[in-house]
Chain A
Amino acid sequence: MSYYFTILSPTDVPLFNIAFGTSKSGGDGIARFRFPDTAQYMNQFIIHSSLDVVEEAQWMNGNMYLKHIDTYPPASAYISAFLTPSGARFLLLHQPPQLPSNSAGAGGSMSGSLLLGSGGSSSRASASSVAANPTSPQTEEAVRQFMTEVYENYVKTVMSPFYRQGMEIKSSVFRGRVTAAGRKWL
């Protein structure tokens, strides 16, 4: 499973983003997106396109964790959202590893990505159902735990007198904490 996590301000300004891979079931924590050439900007496109859904769900459901809210089938990307009370959005894009069986249909032009995507890690991860199934209750719970931990660190950032709302979060300690949360839960 590969992840792309981003924090958006209430006015849709990206405050923080990070890409990482799973550390569960033998993963090494390095993101392996299906289309590595385009992943850098496509992930951002996919995540931002889910904002409309977030804004709709935001007023129907008072929970802070909105669960899995959007899917982008061409990249089999799943998006989970978490809303802070002050309006910041935490969005997590997760992409299950590519299984060898459906790799043929994914597009022949991406042969480079197939080599990366169907490497050793994917076969190991697909053995475990939690990692391979992004909509299972176990995955939802893991994402919730991850979001809650990031929220704690986000509150600490916000409480700093040198931070104003809408500022980019540059702290290397914060980045380290998010990475650690990812390693722990995802």
Chain B
Amino acid sequence: MTQPARHAAMLSISNSGPNTMAGEKQQSTQHMHTQSQPSQGLRVPSNRKTIYDRHLNRSRSAELSRASFAFLFAEMVTYAQRRVTGIQDLERRLNEQGYPLGLRLLDLLYYRTMSSSTSSSLSSSSTSASPPNRPLRILPLLHLIHGPLWRLLFNRPADALEHSVSPETPNEYMITDNDPLVNTYISVPKEMSMLNCAAFVAGIIEGVCDGCGFEAKVTAHNQPTEMWPGRTIFLLRFGESVMEREKVLERAGVK
């Protein structure tokens, strides 16, 4: 009751930053001092900085330790491997882990492109003008994934973008990554040679497609070549509704 302003600024979501651990520890000690105050069950970092006070571009050029990423990803695969019935089931679970990430990255990607119209590192190919346009057709969407999204995730564009040549499957597109970062430290046992842990990245792509309103199924497949033993193809299969809309938009002249 003594400090109503303090509680007014409280947040329902705890802070997600590099100093989360430190912040939470301090917070818990602080809670002991302030237990006499009415608690709303909400916690705020000790420095009063909620996620809304942090700038979204702050960590833009920051780089993560590859070792810690490899460790975390290996743990994710192990976690997904529990209670699965087979390789397909395992890939489905990895896909589901990536999906929410895709939805989030989409918003973040547009926000960063919007707020930095001067630097064009992210806004190449499909999104040249600022503010960037939402993709309306399949091709701009694929360029968005191939270019800006890949750069955001892996700091380089994907290696190839192809359309299925078969007339029976006009709804299939392929994005190739010669050496996926996620698979760098994953050794797949022989009896599971079909498994590709880049199913996680396929899930991210699926999230991006779905977020943009393009219903799609995305799967990751091994396609090793002599030069690139880890080459992975992401197969995007767009749904019937998307193809129908594509035809309508083509007639209407929407790009």
Interface residues of A (CB under 8 A from B): 10, 58-60, 62-65, 83-87, 148, 151-165, 170-174, 177
Contact A151–B111 (Cβ < 8 Å): yes
List chain A residues, Cβ under 8 A from B50.
173
Q: Which residues of B contact A59 (CB under 8 A)?
A: 136, 245, 249, 254
Listed A/B pairs (27) with beta-carbon separation below 8 Å: A10-B211, A10-B213, A59-B136, A59-B249, A62-B133, A62-B134, A63-B131, A64-B131, A85-B107, A85-B211, A86-B103, A86-B106, A86-B107, A87-B211, A151-B111, A152-B56, A152-B111, A152-B115, A155-B107, A157-B13, A158-B107, A159-B107, A160-B51, A161-B16, A171-B52, A173-B11, A177-B52
For the residues of A in contact with B, the DSSP-based class is: loop
> With a CB–CB cut-off of 8 A, which chain A residues contact B10?
172-173
Contact yes or no, A174 B100, CB < 8 A: no
Contact A156:B52 (CB < 8 A) given known A59-B249, A62-B134: yes
**B9 interfacial by beta-carbon distance below 8 Å:** yes
Total interface residues on B, using CB and 8 Å?
36
| Residues B56 and A155 in contact, CB atoms below 8 Å apart | yes
CA distance A170 to B121 in the complex (A): 35
Contacts of A177 in B (CB 8 A): 52
Bound complex: CA of A151 vs CA of B112, how far in Å?
12
Question: Complex Cα distance A97/B242, Å?
Answer: 43
Q: How far is the CB of A158 from chain B (nearest CB, A)?
A: 5
Q: Which 7 pairs from chain A and chain B are nearest by CB?
A: A62-B133, A86-B211, A85-B110, A160-B13, A155-B111, A86-B106, A155-B107
Q: How far is the CA of A170 from the CA of B42 in the complex (A)?
A: 12
B212 close to chain A: CB less than 8 A:
yes
B135 interface hit (Cβ, 8 Å):
yes
Contacting pair A162 B13 (CB below 8 A): yes
Measured CB to CB, the residues of B under 8 A from A are 8-14, 16, 50-52, 54, 56, 100, 103-104, 106-111, 114-115, 131, 133-136, 211-213, 245, 249, 252, 254
When distances are taken between beta carbons in the complex, the residues of chain A under 8 Å from B135 are 62
Q: A83–B9 Cα gap in the complex (Å)?
A: 28
* Beyond A83-B134, A160-B13, 9 extra complex contacts between A and B, CB < 8 Å: A59-B245, A60-B254, A84-B110, A85-B106, A85-B109, A86-B211, A159-B56, A171-B13, A173-B11
Given known A85-B106, A86-B211, A87-B211, contact A156–B56 (CB-CB < 8 A)? yes
Closest-by-CB residue of B relative to A165 is B103
A148 to B132, CA, bound (A): 13
Q: Smallest distance from the beta carbon of B149 to chain A beta carbons, Å?
A: 11
